[in-house]
Amino acid sequence: MSSEKTLILVKPDGVRRGLVGEVISRIEDKGYHITALRMLQADRELLQQHYAEHEGKVFYEPLIEFMESGPIVALVAEGNRVIEGFRALAGTTDPTSAAPGTIRGDLARDQGTKVVQNIVHGSDSPESAAREIAIFFKGN
Ligand code: IDP
Ligand code: MG
């Protein structure tokens, strides 16, 4: 049985709104295993590494500022096709049009801010997952 890992973040909006348990429940209810977990206040350097692919975009600076605006929860989830599976659980980037039933579709909406606040991050490929897990879980 092949397995896979993904890096999931509960963003500052999710932590502020008390949705950590809700997000974790949805991951576990789907049948994935959480194999690492930490709460942290991310600093700018870590966030610049994590979001390097978005450097230069209009929402880049607001994204970094938003992500350092409060504590986040980082976790590693494991299971066959977990990268794709968690992206499906999360829903599309824009929470206004994200499908009902998804984390973003059920729990978030566009608040008119420069960066859209959408509760969670999930890695988008095996390469991203390996890179992102190394950033948030050094030594794992
Ligand atoms: P993803 O989180 O669904 O993978 P990405 O394109 O990787 O989406 O963007 C990273 C984050 O940047 C998003 O989750 C969202 O918070 C924010 N973002 C992405 N695109 C936009 C945009 O067009 N306007 C405002 N914020 C955006
Ligand atoms: Mg992304």
Rounded Cα distance between 96 and 94, Å, is 6
The string of pLDDT tens digits covering residues 24-35 is 999 999 999 999
Domain hosting residue 110, numbered range: 4-136
The count of domains in the chain is 1
pLDDT range class, residue 140, cuts 50, 70, 90: low
- Among all ligands shown, which has an atom nearest to the Cα of 117? 1
Q: On the CB side of 35, how many CA atoms lie within 13 Å of its CA?
A: 16
DSSP letter string, 26-56: HHHHHT-EEEEEEEE---HHHHHHHTGGGTT
CATH number of the domain where residue 60 is located: 3.30.70.141
Global pTM?
Answer: 0.97
116 C-alpha to ligand 1 centroid (Å): 7
pLDDT range class, residue 1, cuts 50, 70, 90: low
